[in-house]
A = this chain, B = another copy of it.
Amino acid sequence: MTDTLKDLMEFQRETEALAQVAGRLGWDQETVMPRGAADQRGEEMAAMESVLHARRTDPRLADWLDKAQPATEADARAVALIRRSHERTARIPARLATELARLTSVAQGIWAEARAAEDVAAFLPTLDQVVRLVREKGQALADGGDAYDALLQDYEPGATGAGLADLFGTLRPRLVALREAVLGASRQPSPLKGHFPADKQMALARDMASAFGYDWAHGRIDKAVHPFCSGSGDDVRITTRTVESEPFNCLYSTIHETGHAGYEQTVDKAYRLTLLGTGASMGVHESQSRIYENQLGRSAAFTSWLYGRMQGTFGDLGVADADAFYATVNRVGQGYIRTESDEVQYNLHVLLRFDLERELIAGRLAVTDVEAAWNDRFARDFGFAVDKPSNGVLQDVHWSVGLIGYFPTYTLGNVYAGALHEALRADVPDLDVHLAKGDATPATRWLGERLQRHGALREPEATVTAACGFAPTAEPLLGYLEAKFGRIYGL
């Protein structure tokens, strides 16, 4: 290794270690921090951000990047990722970065108040500022190209608005049709009945994480307001939450976060504390959480095992048998909220947001028209009207904190999960035998070997293509959904 490369890699390694520390501080804040410590914690986080920003804009980086001569594929990729990050940071004027940081630090509070008050107008001036500044950021990054495409690269390197629009155009009509058929079917699953104490949910959640191969020596599970996964490398923690009337919330959030954690825990240890030592993109990350949660966790085989475990834990569930339980787990209901949605409708929520945010950044949709556009699109795709802003345009935090370009990665993750599931089933024909015993590790090992261990060594789509042995398209996901829900609903 040349001296320059060594300097660069050591500097980057220390930066990544500090980023892990900042991430752990976020975990602490959401799980164990005393309630009176918020103000001081704000100063502590700001100090960490200031240190990280100084390192990411360190003037030595440009020189090191010029001179570094990587010899291995991994080193070459690590240097390329540092260069990409450095070039993007350099393109954003300091004034714009400061304005964005200042705005988004207050915008979330304004959004939360507006949502609580069901007052879209109170949020619009702030949303207008966010859109203007994020658009400006996109234009600075695009350097003459498309601003939305440029923003996407923060979340999904290689993706374009046009490419996603094509992909989503295939999904939308068939998902709308499937939704109508399912909700109109004469056969409808029964709801779950029973009492589900929080401590028993948590004990079962731990077993679910174990069933999916969660590595407890390098992680832990705690309760938080929102489920999340935090950390990379040797310390990857997950959180979940409990609602005593609704155990699936806790259990499937846990499997979902175990998917994210499994990815982080399985990346080759040689990549630890480098830019290769994490997921390839938000979309690829989401593909792992989704295939764990849905294609595996909500399968007939796995739910047949879960049915027994839940009866043993909670007593009578008010469903006739394992088949009925499978239908209940996969029940499609009429609802407004993306995060509470099911496999059939979830992507319709995402597609709506993708189209609106792309129009907002392009300047073809004014923020004053966004509520009407949202409600109109919702009525068309979901067949009923939004009743209040908190169930509509004010439901998600993303835009208020400047996350524009993030939403489509949710559906991209589902598309990738569909493709990976098709390849997995072909490679592991007896998977259901194991799932029916509460053991998903033959699947998670396959994903680990084919995809997770490579971290960010390859570009996102190439990562999925290499794992599947074919390029991902919408077809596997659509075929899976139509077959699965056709069977459950007797279509």
Contacts and interface: CB of A to CB of B under 8 A. Distances in A.
Contacts of A375: none
Interface in A198-228: 215-220
Interface in A18-53: 18, 20-21, 24-25, 28, 32-37, 39-41, 43-44, 46-48, 50-51
Contact of A40 (B39, B43, B51, B234): B234
Contacts of A34: 216-220, 234-235, 237
B28 A46 contact: no
Nearest to A31: B32
Contacts of A233: 40
A261 to B, nearest CB: 11
A237 to B, nearest CB: 8
A26 B218 CA distance: 17
Contact of A235 (B37, B216, B218, B237): B37
Contacts of A41: 234-235
A216 B32 CA distance: 12
A220 B235 CA distance: 22
A14 interface: yes
A47 B14 contact: yes
B215 A36 contact: yes
A54 to B, nearest CB: 10
Contacts of A32: 32, 220
A13 interface: yes
Nearest to A273: B43
A358 to B, nearest CB: 38
A21 B37 contact: no
A17 to B, nearest CB: 4
A43 B274 CA distance: 13
Contact of A44 (B20, B35, B39, B219): B20
A119 B175 CA distance: 73
Nearest to A231: B37
A115 interface: no
A349 interface: no
Question: Which of A18, A36, A44 has the most B CB atoms < 10 Å from its CB?
Answer: A44
B18 A48 contact: yes
A25 B36 contact: no
A179 interface: no
A372 to B, nearest CB: 44
A342 B13 CA distance: 48
A17 B37 contact: no
Contacts of A39: 234
Nearest to A38: B234
Interface in A88-141: none
A272 interface: yes
A256 to B, nearest CB: 20
A217 B32 CA distance: 12
Interface in A326-373: none
A47 B17 contact: yes
29 contacts: A14-B50, A17-B40, A17-B43, A17-B44, A18-B44, A18-B47, A18-B51, A20-B40, A20-B44, A21-B21, A24-B25, A24-B28, A28-B28, A32-B220, A33-B235, A34-B216, A34-B217, A34-B219, A34-B220, A34-B235, A36-B218, A36-B234, A37-B218, A37-B235, A40-B272, A40-B273, A41-B234, A41-B235, A43-B273
Nearest 8 A/B pairs, CB to CB: A36-B217, A37-B235, A17-B47, A40-B234, A36-B218, A37-B234, A14-B47, A17-B44
